[in-house]
Amino acid sequence: MTPFEATHRRPASKGVLTPSSPRCCMGTGLLLLLVFVAGLRVSHGTTDPTDAAALRSLMDAWKNTPPSWGQSDDPCGTPWEGVRCRNSRVTVMTLSTMGLKGTLSGDIAQLSELESLDLSYNNELRGQLTENIGNLKKLTTLSLAGCSFSGKIPDEIGDLEKLSFLALNSNKFTGTIPASLGTLSKLYWLDVADNQLTGPIPISNNGAPGLDQLLNTKHFHFNKNQLLGPIPEQLFSSNMTLIHILFHGNQLTGEIPASIGLVKSLQVLRLDRNFLKGSVPSNINSLTNINELNLANNQLSGPMPNLTGMNSLNHVDLSNNKFDSSESPAWFSQIESLTALVIQSGRLYGQVPEKLFSFPQIQEVILDDNKFNGTLAMGNSISQQLQIVSFKNNALDSVTLQPRYNMTLILAGNPVCNNQPSDTTYCSLQQKQSLPYSTSLANCGPKQCPPDQSLSPSKCNCAYPYEGVMFFVGPRIRDVTDSTLFQEMERTMSIKLGLEPGSVFLENPFFSGDSYLQLQVKLFPSDGRYFNRSEILRIGFDLSNQIYRPPESFGPYNFIASPYPFPDVEGRPSMSPGLITGISVGCALLVLGLVGAGVYALRQKKRAQRAMELSKPFASWTRSGEDSGGAPQLKGARWFSFDELKKSTDNFSETNQIGSGGYGKVSRGLLSSGQLVAIKRAQEGSKQGALEFKTEVELLSRVHHKNLVTLVGFCFEQEEQMLVYEFMPNGTLRESLSGLSRSGVLHDTTADREE
């Protein structure tokens, strides 16, 4: 580090050098540094001294605070980015996606007027969440989504009596959900999803609080933890106003409490992927506002639930339970609002009413692994929306087909396919599917960007987008090709986030193994190649605090951002005018010399760092395996060098090319082991960040399905991103690849449950 760099980023606060200041190699340098520091200490002093000291203490505990932090002693007067004040007191601190590293110091408690704290998407912010947080009595919003906090959620959060928004999702919290949260009578949003929480759902008892008291809470997002025990009958009452109950992906046992039928406001009920047993309460159909009902993957028994009267239902999934064997329930032909009906292994037999296929919004009917028999008749008023009908492994012995129906119909595994030529369309598992939606870059022509940048759809320039993944946890739609809907999202998003029209790029929507619609989002700056910090922390806030609302049919979402590559994070110097005016030409020349050396050193450092960053996402994969030469390994997926794949495809020669699409080209390759593979090579513009690429590889390597090609490995080097699949001689690879984005095909994957 040069003295200049250190001075610029972290001027010493009290006129002395802090321990982190550099060893100065030159007397002149030191002098300069003191001149600079003195210049900065002229402050207006409008900030309450306790608040100023608290902010400084937080700053000292964090790396990568915005460069404006510490530039003045007056965080309110000469503002520190992300800090807002009223009457000299700090009331708002929003530092979403700043790349903060470190822990949250207990000194946060000194900011006693703080109303809003947003530290979301700083995934290197770790350690325990300080119990002092309970002193922030004015806090209404606390968002720590997408950080790496661990340990217990402190009981003291229950002291934040004004709290209305609490997002602790996607951290590493352990322990139980504190019962004290039950005292938060103003709480509107409670999201603790995607942690490692265990124990029961707390209810009030002998004067001790519990979550049954949260009568103003609309959102219980507890999904993807390790919560245990039954869902308490006492948890729900008619005075509750919940609209989303997301309990899926836990280890809940016992029966579904009948009291759930009292929560008439409910719109999304996800209890799937638990160990629930017994019958579904018969009053479930009094929940007439529910759009999404997912009870799949439990051990529910008794009669197939009677959903008659639930006339807002869009998506229903009751798969993989132990319901009594029955014919199609009456509601199959009654609930005209349905978009998707999914009941796999439901022990259903007989006929499916034709009416189901004529519902105006129906997109998906998946009834695999039942005992439907006789003739499948879909009638002659099939809905225009219908995309996929799957009756895999049933007992159908004939089908009357409407010639007009040209979308996917899967009858493989039925007697009707026993004596058919193997190329009968409905008997094959691989069928034509359209590609998932992706924002068009057609206007930009064949432009290419460096690997760490992307093409802005509005300006067609290369820029560093703000990227992340949207997880729609209870979507009403199933059609990932619906451009009208995704374009509506692009439009509303750019307006709400204050971006120019056309600066939202969406791609790769697909249904994940846990029935989430996942969507890759890239947002582009209006000017230049970068967003500045103020913009990033604002956008991060709007997404982590649910200020942006997508079109209704997308339902509730979580957004998780990737780190943003600020140009100055590694200390790229940018001179402050105050520095330059104060010093002589001689000093200026000296400075320039220092800067020059510094820039060079920094560039080198940055380059090295970037190279490290690129490989970092793979660091968690164990490094072993003799066939990889010590390269990153993932169970089931092998690392390939670029050279090896180049050789296997005869330098990606045209003759080996077997397909191409928006993402790039697919080539046939022959590995030295003799294995034939298909290699999907991302082209410029469709490459992903290292983390997303890693996530994709992890996902693909976990999915094993007889309809899907298996991932053999991947290559991530020399600015190349390639996925290597088993070669499938029949059917085109593209179909198989796009199959991944179809829930219909993923429904009976043997993929591990997401952790």
DSSP readout, 451-474? TT-EE-TTT--EE--EEEEEEESS
Query: CB 371 → ligand NAG: shortest distance, Å?
Result: 7
- Phi and psi at 189, nearest 5°, equal -125, 120
Sequence length of the chain is 755
The gap between the terminal CA atoms of the chain, to the nearest Å, is 41
For residues 611 and 628, give the distance between their C-alpha atoms in angstroms, rounded to a whole number. 20
For ligand NAG, the closer CB: 18 or 308: 308
Query: CB 102 → ligand NAG: shortest distance, Å?
Result: 23
- Phi and psi at 711, nearest 5°, equal -75, 125
Nearest to 13 by CA among 91, 66, 69: 69
Contacts of 599 (CB under 8 A, 6+ apart): 572, 573
Task: Count Cα neighbours of 90 within 13 Å in the Cβ-side half-sphere.
Answer: 31
Query: CB 632 → ligand NAG: shortest distance, Å?
Result: 38
For ligand NAG, the closer CB: 183 or 518: 183
For residues 623 and 421, give the distance between their C-alpha atoms in angstroms, rounded to a whole number. 48
The partner residues of 713 in beta bridges, in order of sequence, read 638, 724
Nearest to 227 by CA among 249, 256, 198: 198
The kind and range of the H/E element at 294 are strand 292-294
For ligand NAG, the closer CB: 130 or 433: 433
Left if phi > 0, otherwise alpha if psi is -120 to 50, otherwise beta: which for 555? left
The partner residues of 557 in beta bridges, in order of sequence, read 472
Query: CB 708 → ligand NAG: shortest distance, Å?
Result: 21
Query: CB 283 → ligand NAG: shortest distance, Å?
Result: 9
Residue with tokens 């968002």: 143
For ligand NAG, the closer CB: 372 or 640: 372
For ligand NAG, the closer CB: 156 or 535: 535
For residues 465 and 462, give the distance between their C-alpha atoms in angstroms, rounded to a whole number. 9
For residues 237 and 259, give the distance between their C-alpha atoms in angstroms, rounded to a whole number. 6
Tokens read off for 273: 């992927």
What is the binding site for ligand NAG (CB under 6 A)? 237-239, 285, 306, 308-309, 349-350, 373-374, 404, 406, 526-527, 532, 534-535
Query: CB 297 → ligand NAG: shortest distance, Å?
Result: 24
Q: Which residue is nearest to ligand NAG (CB)?
A: 374
For residues 200 and 646, give the distance between their C-alpha atoms in angstroms, rounded to a whole number. 54
For ligand NAG, the closer CB: 103 or 732: 732
Query: CB 449 → ligand NAG: shortest distance, Å?
Result: 21
Query: CB 238 → ligand NAG: shortest distance, Å?
Result: 6
Residue with tokens 């999202």: 489
**3-state DSSP of 371-431:** EEEEEEECCCCCCCCCCEEECCCCEEEEEECCCCCCCEEECCCCHHHCCCCCCCHHHCCCC
Contact status, residue 736 vs residue 497, Cβ threshold 8 Å: no
Query: CB 478 → ligand NAG: shortest distance, Å?
Result: 16
Burial of 334: CB neighbours in 10 Å, binned 0-12, 13-18, 19+: middle
For ligand NAG, the closer CB: 46 or 534: 534
How far is C-alpha 581 from the chain's CA centre? 47
For ligand NAG, the closer CB: 488 or 500: 500
For ligand NAG, the closer CB: 527 or 643: 527
Query: CB 505 → ligand NAG: shortest distance, Å?
Result: 19
Nearest to 270 by CA among 88, 90, 473, 426: 473
For ligand NAG, the closer CB: 532 or 732: 532
Query: CB 115 → ligand NAG: shortest distance, Å?
Result: 22
Contact status, residue 276 vs residue 254, Cβ threshold 8 Å: yes
Q: Is 680 annotated as a binding residue?
A: yes
Query: CB 430 → ligand NAG: shortest distance, Å?
Result: 15
**3-state DSSP of 362-381:** CCEEECCCCEEEEEEECCCC
Residue with tokens 């979308």: 407
Tokens read off for 550: 């997508």
For ligand NAG, the closer CB: 237 or 718: 237
Query: CB 309 → ligand NAG: shortest distance, Å?
Result: 5
Expressed in percent and rounded to 5, the helix, strand and coil fractions of the chain are 25, 20, 50
For ligand NAG, the closer CB: 519 or 536: 536
For ligand NAG, the closer CB: 257 or 625: 257
Q: Which residues define the annotated binding site?
A: 680
Q: Which residues define the annotated binding site for ATP?
A: 680
